[in-house]
Amino acid sequence: MRKGNLQHPSNGYKIIVVDDEEGIIDSLSIFLKRSGYEFTGVTDPMEAIEKVKNEHFDLMLLDFIMTPIHGDQVVEEIRKFNKELYILLLTGHKDLAPPLETIRRLDIQGYCEKSDKFDQLLLLVESGIKAISQMNVIKDMNNKLQDTYEQLERAYMESIQTLRYTVEAKDSYTRGHSDRVSEFSVLIGKYLGLSEEEIKTLRIGGLFHDIGKIGVPDSILLKEGKLTDDEYSEIKNHPTIGAHILSTATIFQDIIPIVKHHHEKYDGFGYPGKLKGEEIPYFARIAAVADTFDAMTSKRTYRDALPLDVVISEITRCKGTQFDPKIADVFLDILEHHYEEVKEIQERYK
């Protein structure tokens, strides 16, 4: 058998070499295949960008001076859609290498001068592959941890949902109320320009804000007449009970302030902490507006839903006393200019 036909076992790593000189491509092809790498050679830098976009490569060897675009421009385009590709830049002379600032900005892992001998380049490639291997191990561990976390989060969510449905089963008013408070809170959050993660916290916090009612006696929760002072005191315990229910689950730490403080008032006369102004957690101030709006616009055993103009007047009147004035103004603007979004939520969770 001729020596040139020997098959070298693949180590599973794919390298793409981009150089407009066919001779360099051919030499590196022999050299890298002999070292066990899967090799792809490209002479057109524009074609290389498309290949990286559509195929997986672990490492790129990239010539700096090429036409129609230079290597740093190739990296600029690749980094728009691929932040992970390990890139080594090849230069004809060290004086022709791009500035260090460019190398850092584009996250180019290193550069090497071209030479007839490839020993130094092989060392850089091997070093890069070791780094890639470690990154893959860490990524795999993170994925497994994320899967475990998501399974745990689902289990907790299902457990708390069961408690929420238990509350709703015995209190007809609560049924749909938590969903609407959740959606109204999210709507306010969007118009406040909050991030997706913050919106998620508002959504879950709204769903579970009344979870503590599971600890309120049915005789009080379902009473149709006026509550006595003692009975009202029992009702006022539900935020603290809810916070306690959620306190043992790490995944609910972000929503506990909503659950515990959605009945605080901006002037300090709310409960349970009598917090005032910005002492009240921000998300709880948002939920307070959403919660009160839904309470006023929902039919209760002792009254019909209030007309929208009355609700607007009441929210306006309570700015700075019950509600954070800035949040109240945002919601009043929604009611005036985007009321169709509010109606859609009300229709969805009748």
Active-site positions read: 213
Cα 168 to Cα 165: distance, rounded to the nearest angstrom: 5
Nearest to 240 by CA among 227, 221, 254, 259: 259
Residues 6+ apart with CB under 8 A from 114: 24, 90, 91, 92
Give the dihedral of Cα atoms 176, 179, 183, 186; nearest 10 deg.
150
Q: What is the largest CA-CA distance in the chain?
A: 99
Determine contact, residues 263/288, Cβ cutoff 8 Å: yes
Which residue reads 């036409």 in tokens?
A: 67
Residues linked to residue 63 through DSSP beta bridges, in sequence order? 90
For 53-56, which contacts have Cβ atoms below 8 Å and span 24 or more sequence positions? 53/81, 53/82, 55/14, 56/14
**Tokens standing for residue 328:** 């109240």
